[in-house]
Chains A and B, each alone.
Chain A
Amino acid sequence: MSDLRLELKEKIIKQLNLEDLSVEDIQNDDFLFGDEIGLDSIDALELIVMLEKDFGIKLTDPAQGKEVFTSIETLAQFIEKNA
Chain B
Amino acid sequence: MKRDWYITSSVKLKKHQIFKDDELIFKTEPHISTQDFLKEAYRFFGINYPKFHKMDVLCKLGMIASCVLKEEYPKDTALVFQNASSSEVSDTQHQESIHNFPSPATFVYTLPNIVMGELSIKHELQSENAFFVAEDFQAQFIQNYTQSLLEQKKASAAICGWLEANLDDYYLFLNYIEPRGMHIFSAETLLEKYTQ
Interface residues of A, Cβ cutoff 8 Å to B: 16-20, 38, 42-43, 45-46, 49, 52-53
Contacts and interface: CB of A to CB of B under 8 A. Distances in A.
A53 B50 contact: no
A17 B54 contact: yes
A45 B104 contact: yes
A28 B85 CA distance: 43
B108 interface: yes
A53 B101 CA distance: 7
A19 B103 CA distance: 18
B15 interface: no
Interface size class, chain B: 10 to 19
A20 B50 contact: yes
19 contacts: A16-B54, A16-B105, A18-B50, A18-B53, A19-B53, A20-B53, A42-B105, A42-B108, A43-B105, A45-B104, A45-B105, A46-B103, A46-B104, A49-B101, A49-B102, A49-B103, A49-B104, A52-B101, A53-B101
Contacts of A17: 53-54, 105
Contacts of B50: 18-20, 38
Contact of B105 (A19, A38, A46, A52): A46
Nearest to B48: A20
Interface string B86-107: 0000000000000001111100
Interface in B22-66: 39, 50, 53-54
Interface in B144-179: none
A18 B102 CA distance: 19
- Between B39, B50, B101, B105, the greatest number of chain A beta carbons within 10 A of the residue's beta carbon is seen for B105
Contacts of B108: 42
Interface string B110-130: 000000000000000000000
Most buried by B among A19, A38, A43: A19
Contacts of A45: 104-105
Nearest to B42: A19
